[in-house]
Amino acid sequence: MLSNKGSNTDSANNQSLGNLFSITQIEDFSITCVRAAYQRLLELGDDGRQKREINQFGEGQLLADWEIEEAIIKLAIDQKFPARFISEEHKQLQITDSPIFTITLDGLDGSNLYLANKSDARFCHMLSIHSGSSHSGSSHSGSSPTYNDYLVSGILDLRSGQLLFAIKNQGVFIQQIEAAKDEKNKVLTKPSPSITELKAVFSHKEICTQCQIPWEPQTRFNISDIACLGAKYTDLALGKVDAMIEGTRKDNLEHIIGYGILRELGGDIVDMNGLSLADQKIEIFGNPEHVGIIAARSITLATELAAFLSPR
């Protein structure tokens, strides 16, 4: 069970979390969850690719999709972590009468790539914890969290075991999932190009059409795509691409998780008017409608790209 007493160095963070949990305890719990996800996938082996049923979004669900989320939910229950879940396979789930945190969870992002099992396929586990819960008995007055209420966000590459992990006001770190906690390295902020210098961009024509984002202006960029948002947010955070043109869908789980990582690197996710998602409620914005968004490691680039694609 998690103790509700933090160290003296965590006192400020304890206060901000209602004197219940320190940010260090939140971090440790999250890392334990991510490791449990990785271990469960290893245990499943090829059985993880068995088809299970159709999920809430009308998509085929694999055994691994379900079992990885089950492992995290069981861990949270066992450790009496006061949270509610928003997840791809388990929908919304409350595991306590008085949740004070919201866990956003995608057990296996990139299921089709995992199923295809090609040597270069990338698929990820994604998780974030936000302060606040929409439950009426919450100590946060029943308020649904905003994007900027993130405390931790993590993306684990389930193929390589590489974990990208953001901690509120501390930055983004990278490490191998089986490494000790002190073996993590801080991800340094890289300069982003101006809109006139922009080259490498993630985008997808079908999503742009769905969200009414013009395609023709994008043809000046070097456009690519990966059928795994966790991989796309990882590459964006590490500077392998400069920006991402995307859209809301399927409860926006991956965007909610990716937001914290970009913010800790000085970036942002904005709508097509160039407005940050910071104060948007995670369960309301772009749900269920399809809304265009821009993600970048630079707030300036994100807003410039939104203006370029939405001329007035």
CATH value of 8-186 in 3.40.1800.10, 3.30.540.10, 3.40.50.300, 2.40.50.100: 3.30.540.10
What digits encode the pLDDT tens for the residues 76-106?
A: 999 999 999 999 999 999 999 989 999 999 9
Whether the per-residue pLDDT at 7 is higher than 50: the answer is no
Asked if the domains 8-186 and 200-309 are classified in one and the same CATH topology, the answer is no
Spatial distance between the Cα atoms of 34 and 212, rounded to a whole number of angstroms: 35
| Sheet containing 83-87, strands listed edge to edge, beginning at the edge strand earlier in sequence | 91-94, 83-87, 101-109, 124-131, 150-157, 162-167, 171-176, 185-186
The pTM of the whole model exceeds 0.75:
yes
How big is the chain, counted in residues?
A: 312
pLDDT exceeds 60 at position 246: yes
Q: In the structure, how many helices (H) and strands (E) does the chain have?
A: 8, 15
Q: How far apart are the first and last CA of the chain?
A: 55
CATH numeric code, 200-309: 3.40.190.80
With a pLDDT cut of 70, the percent of the chain lying above it is 90
Q: How far apart are CA 292 and CA 286, in angstroms?
A: 9
Domain boundaries, the chain: 8-186, 200-309
- Mean pLDDT confidence for 218-226: 97
- Give the ranges where the chain is alpha helix by DSSP (H): 11-16, 23-44, 63-78, 111-116, 205-210, 229-237, 253-264, 299-309
pLDDT at position 182, please?
A: 83
The mean of the pLDDT values for the chain is 91
